[in-house]
Structure 1
């Protein structure tokens, strides 16, 4: 009887460990936001005091988050903008949906670097800090590309 109890406890422990591993690998549908950034770039500014920035924020978690602020040492201010029907509108935040993406792309949502402290040149990088409502901040090194750069992914 004691042997059966030990074997039963061992089997239960093994099953719990496997269940924990599979949950971690497949992602928890109701877990916290898990944010990452890809495709970040800044076209070399054509203006002395303003530049644009583009990137994609991916959320592999089960909870939405919100991009609430962006800062950079290259600009006095970084603002968030949407573009709809050719009209640009400043926004105070953007939602990052659970299991989704927030895309900042030419002709759409974008970052505006205002009051540039220096003119970023092609080949340099610009450090950008993204602040979220729930998740910790993310710092991204944004490469400066040619003014006419169009990424192969379309953003």
Structure 2
């Protein structure tokens, strides 16, 4: 049986310790979430409305939006839109140093089974729930039915 030189054994131990330290450090990176630009166009339907917002993540770890709720609706669902086809999603990833955008013609929120029809000038409270981060509560202003955030009306 051949003995390893002490330097090689020490180097192997150091590499192992650094690998373990690297694992624990990556666990300390967190998502840093914030919401901007929330709005709901005044619903034209008595039982359904859409909602839009951007979730920014300035942190070093990905998170996932897992559910959305609001006291104004029986349920809030999340949808993606690709090639004009809308599909319900159970979650949306928010990349580290990235953002998740819900906008007209793209990903969006659907407020279903409205308890009352929100009117322009009111606000709707929305709770966003994430896989790792704590929930965020957002006040979503109700805008005109034809509101466009790029023009401001």
Q: What is the TM-score with the length of structure 2 in the denominator?
A: 0.80
> How many pairs were matched up?
126
SS in 2 for 1:55: strand
* Structure-to-structure mapping, 1:1-150, within 5 angstroms: 31-150=29-148
Structure 2: gaps of 5 or more residues: 1-25
Q: What is the TM-score with the length of structure 1 in the denominator?
A: 0.79
Note the C-alpha offset of 1:152. Answer: 1.9
User: Alignment RMSD, CA only?
Assistant: 1.6
Residue by residue over 1:16-37, the C-alpha shift from the partner in whole angstroms, topping out at 9 and shown as x without a partner, is: xxxxxxxxxxxx9x72000000
Structure 1: gaps of 5 or more residues: 1-27
Q: Quote the Cα distance in structure 1 between the aligned partners of 2:93 and 2:31.
A: 12
**4+ residue runs of structure 1 moved beyond 4 angstroms?**
none
Q: Quote the Cα distance in structure 1 between the aligned partners of 2:104 and 2:150.
A: 13
SS in 1 for 2:120: coil
Residue by residue over 1:26-53, the C-alpha shift from the partner in whole angstroms, topping out at 9 and shown as x without a partner, is: xx9x720000000000000000000000
Residue by residue over 1:4-25, the C-alpha shift from the partner in whole angstroms, topping out at 9 and shown as x without a partner, is: xxxxxxxxxxxxxxxxxxxxxx
Partner residue in 2 for 1:15: none
